[in-house]
Every structure is written in C-alpha cells, then in structure tokens.
C-alpha cells in the first residue's frame, strides 16, 4: 500500500505541474477510479483544482483537500448536470444549487477533509471564493 501511495503522490505532483503549465487536460483511466469508502486527493492552487480522480464509485467518499496555493481557498462539491465550466454565476460566485458539501476556508499550506455520501451522478468540485470559479478553479467528478 505504501508503494501505491508513493505512485499516487508522484502522479498528483506531475499532474499539478503539467496542468499548471496548461499543457494537458486532467483525465482518469479506469485504474484511477476511487473505490467506495476511499479517499480522493484534491490539490488547490491559484486558479486550479486538481483531483487525484475524476470518477468514483457511488457511496461514502472522503475528499482530502490540500491548499498548495499562496492564499486561502475553499472546497465545494455540487451535484450538477451542467458542464463544470458553465455554472450560473451571480455576484462573482457560482450559484451553489445542488451543494453536496463544503469545506469553507482552507488556509495556505494546510489540508482538510470531508466525508460525504456521493450518489450516482455528475458533480462539479470548485473553489467558490469571490472570482475563483471564474478564474478556472474547478473540475468535474462522476460517481458511478
């Protein structure tokens, strides 16, 4: 299990570096699908939200959210059939219709976790601090 965690951390670090450079879109293969009751790593940096997986099995999922940025961020997960970059925005924030859960404030350099019952469906994970969603701090998630 330790070797698996090391590979997962290395893959996440590579994904953060590459996506920060804007070179690829993050996708997940079937091997990267989290199992029910598992933990999903999420990295927050200025204007990116990088999940370790984008597909999970429906059920209890723990999101371990790390703020690797220089400012405070938050983590919100919404159930939505809308594309992750086309949520309705009002007052500089995405409208949180379908909110499943939230970690309100995650200071720079810290990590927090939230465990949620995630039914089958499509979700959007985002930082919804003023202007952060519009700047690109979001990702999609699917529960099967």
Using DSSP's 3-state secondary structure scheme, residue 18 falls into: helix
- List pLDDT tens digits, range 95-132: 999 999 999 999 999 999 999 999 999 999 999 999 99
User: Secondary structure of the chain: what % helix, strand, coil (to 5)?
Assistant: 15, 45, 40
With vertex at residue 92, the alpha carbon angle to CA 115 and CA 43, rounded to the nearest 5 degrees, is 35
**Whether the Cβ atoms of residue 28 and residue 139 lie closer than 8 Å to each other:** no
> For 21-67, how does the pLDDT look when each residue is reduced to its tens digit (9 = 90+)?
333 333 333 334 455 468 899 999 999 999 999 999 999 999 999 99
- 55, 28 contact by CB (below 8 A): yes
Give start and end residues of each alpha helix (H) in the chain.
Answer: 2-20
Residue 2 scores a pLDDT above 80: no
- Token pair, residue 117, equals 């019952």
Q: How far is CA 12 from CA 5, 66, 100, 102, in A?
A: 10, 12, 24, 22
What does the pLDDT average to over 131-142? 98
pLDDT score at 19 = 41
Q: 66: which 2 tokens? A: 């790390």
Residues 134-140: what's their mean pLDDT?
98
Interval 80-91 mean pLDDT: 96
């Amino acid at each position: 299990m330790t070797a698996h965690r090391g590979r997962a951390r290395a893959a996440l670090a590579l994904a953060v570096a590459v996506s920060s450079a804007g070179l690829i879109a993050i996708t997940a293969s079937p091997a990267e699908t989290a199992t029910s009751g598992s933990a999903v790593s999420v990295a927050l940096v200025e204007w990116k939200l990088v999940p370790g997986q984008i597909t999970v099995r429906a059920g209890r999922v723990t999101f371990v959210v790390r703020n690797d940025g220089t400012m405070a961020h938050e983590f919100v997960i919404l159930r939505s059939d809308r594309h992750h970059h086309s949520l309705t925005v009002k007052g500089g924030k995405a409208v949180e219709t379908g909110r499943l859960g939230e970690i309100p404030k995650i200071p720079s350099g810290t990590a927090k976790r939230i465990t949620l019952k995630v039914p089958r469906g499509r979700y959007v994970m985002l930082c919804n601090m003023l202007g952060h969603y519009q700047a690109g701090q979001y990702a999609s998630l699917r529960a099967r």
